[in-house]
Structure 1
Amino acid sequence: MDNTKRFSNRVTDYVKYRPHYPNAIITFLQESYQLTTDKLIADIGAGTGISTQLFLDAGYRAIAVEPNAEMRDKAIELLSSYPGFTAVDSTAENTGLADESIDAVIAGQAFHWFNAQNARAEFKRILKSGGTVVLIWNERKTASAFEMEYDQLIITHGQDYVKVGHRNIDFDNIGAFYDPNPFELRVFENQQVFDFDGLKGRLLSSSYSPTKADAGYEPMINDLQVLFNRYQQNGKITIHYDTKVYVGSL
């Protein structure tokens, strides 16, 4: 599958059910990396603009770089009222942005889809001297009994979850991306609380989940209902995340 097309039929669920990012990330970047609000941000693989909005809300100007038309159109719909917002139809490997025009590149839940080597060269081209690259992921925890069984459900029913779920994002690959420069990892707590419909929407927002048109959809939803019924408390279930933030320069 062309990775730039993976989420075209999941935009609604993506907007409604994907986790956002803790505001503490902004404080961390401002205090530790002097990322003041006069800096221009390029959000690469911005999708529907979840990570872009984090920075817009804090007062930054942000360019959302997103090749998927459906996701980019949703970002424009949701964020066009922000005076500092711009969207462009480009990829991580060929952003179309000007040389040395960007103060910080960010990528929220997106870097694992990039060609890391080509993206690195492109980021280095568009970044100003001393510019920062911030790679962000919400990684689901698998500590509780529910979270372990939910992960197994995804492995069982996900079409290519094992193949794509951990590509490019282990510590060694991140280190190779920033090499020879050092980088820092900071971890923040995050969570979502769902009723069953919300949990279903969260599952369906993932590119590896069968859609209603797929033969595996009904068995997956049936297993999800059984899992929810087993662990729900007062009609709710909680998914916990480690929000991992890697920061460095190129």
Structure 2
Amino acid sequence: MDSTKRFSNRVEDYVRYRPHYPAEIIGFLQDNYDLTIHKLIADIGAGTGISTELFLDAGYRTIAVEPNTEMREKAIELLDSYLGFTATDGTAENTGLLSASIDAVIAGQAFHWFNAEETRKEFKRILKPGGIVVLIWNERKTESAFEKEYDQLIIKHGQDYVKVDHRNIDTEHIEAFYAPEPCKLQVFPNKQIFDFEGLAGRLLSSSYMPTKNEPGYAPMINDLQQLFNRYQQQELITINYDTKVYVGQLSTC
């Protein structure tokens, strides 16, 4: 499947049930990388604007670059009231942005869909001298009994989860993207608390899970209900994340 079209039929679940990012990310970037609010941000693979909103809320001008029409239109619907917001059709490999126009490129839950070599060339083109690249993932933890069984449920019912899981892009791949420059990893705790409806919505927001119109949906939901029943506390369940933030510059060579 064309990765730019994977989420076209999951926009509403994506908006309602995907985790946001800790606000502490902003302070970390401001304190360590001089990311003052007059600087211009490009959010590449912005989707419905979850990562874009993080920077808009902090007062930054932010361009959301997103090739998927349905997701980009939802981002415009949700964020157009922000004075600093702009949305444009583009990919990581061909953003359509002006050369040397961007102070910081960010990508939230998106870099694993990019062609790293072509993306690196494009990011180097659009970044100003001294600009930074910030790659962000909410990585589901698999430590508790519930988290381990939930991951196995996704492996069992996911259509290509093992192939497209963002964890396939490990630290070695990310360091190679920044090389020969170094990159820094900072980890923030994050979590979501769901009732069963919310947990089902979170599951369905992933592009590799069967939709309601597909044959695998009913057995998947049945397994999810049984899992929820075993581990719920007062009809709620918690999904814990490590929010991983990689930051660095790209060599001009």
TM-score, normalised relative to structure 1:
0.99
- Equivalent-residue separation in structure 2 for 1:160 and 1:133 (angstroms): 28
- For 2:112, the equivalent position in structure 1 comes to 112
- Equivalent-residue separation in structure 1 for 2:81 and 2:34 (angstroms): 27
Instruction: For 1:206, give the aligned amino acid.
Output: S
- For 2:101, the equivalent position in structure 1 comes to 101
The Cα offsets for residues 178-216 of structure 1, whole Å up to 9 and x where unpaired, read as 000000000000000000000000000000000011110
- Equivalent-residue separation in structure 1 for 2:131 and 2:169 (angstroms): 21
Local SS of the residue matching 1:117: helix
What are the within-5 Å matches in structure 2 for residues 217-232 of structure 1? 217-232=217-232
| 1:214 correspondence with 2:217 | no
- For 2:35, the equivalent position in structure 1 comes to 35
Q: Which runs of 5+ in 1 are unaligned?
A: none
* Deviation, structure 1 residue 46: 0.1
- Equivalent-residue separation in structure 1 for 2:119 and 2:167 (angstroms): 15
| 1:68 correspondence with 2:62 | no
Instruction: For 1:90, give the aligned amino acid.
Output: G
Instruction: Spell out structure 1 runs of 4+ moving beyond 3 A.
Output: none
* Deviation, structure 1 residue 167: 6.0
- For 2:247, the equivalent position in structure 1 comes to 247
Q: Which runs of 5+ in 2 are unaligned?
A: none
How many residue pairs get aligned? The number is: 250
| 1:46 correspondence with 2:46 | yes
* Deviation, structure 1 residue 26: 0.2
- Equivalent-residue separation in structure 2 for 1:168 and 1:96 (angstroms): 28
Contact 1:93 1:118 in 2 (8 A): yes
The Cα offsets for residues 12-39 of structure 1, whole Å up to 9 and x where unpaired, read as 0000000000000000000000000000
The Cα offsets for residues 119-154 of structure 1, whole Å up to 9 and x where unpaired, read as 010000000001000000000000100000000000
* Deviation, structure 1 residue 54: 0.0
Identity over aligned residues, as a percent? 77
- For 2:146, the equivalent position in structure 1 comes to 146
Local SS of the residue matching 1:43: strand
What are the within-5 Å matches in structure 2 for residues 145-164 of structure 1? 145-164=145-164
* Deviation, structure 1 residue 225: 0.1
Local SS of the residue matching 1:20: coil
Distance change >3 Å, CA 111–CA 168, structure 1 → 2: farther
Local SS of the residue matching 1:91: coil
- Equivalent-residue separation in structure 1 for 2:117 and 2:26 (angstroms): 27
Aligned CA RMSD, in angstroms, stands at 0.6
TM-score, normalised relative to structure 2:
0.98
Local SS of the residue matching 1:8: coil
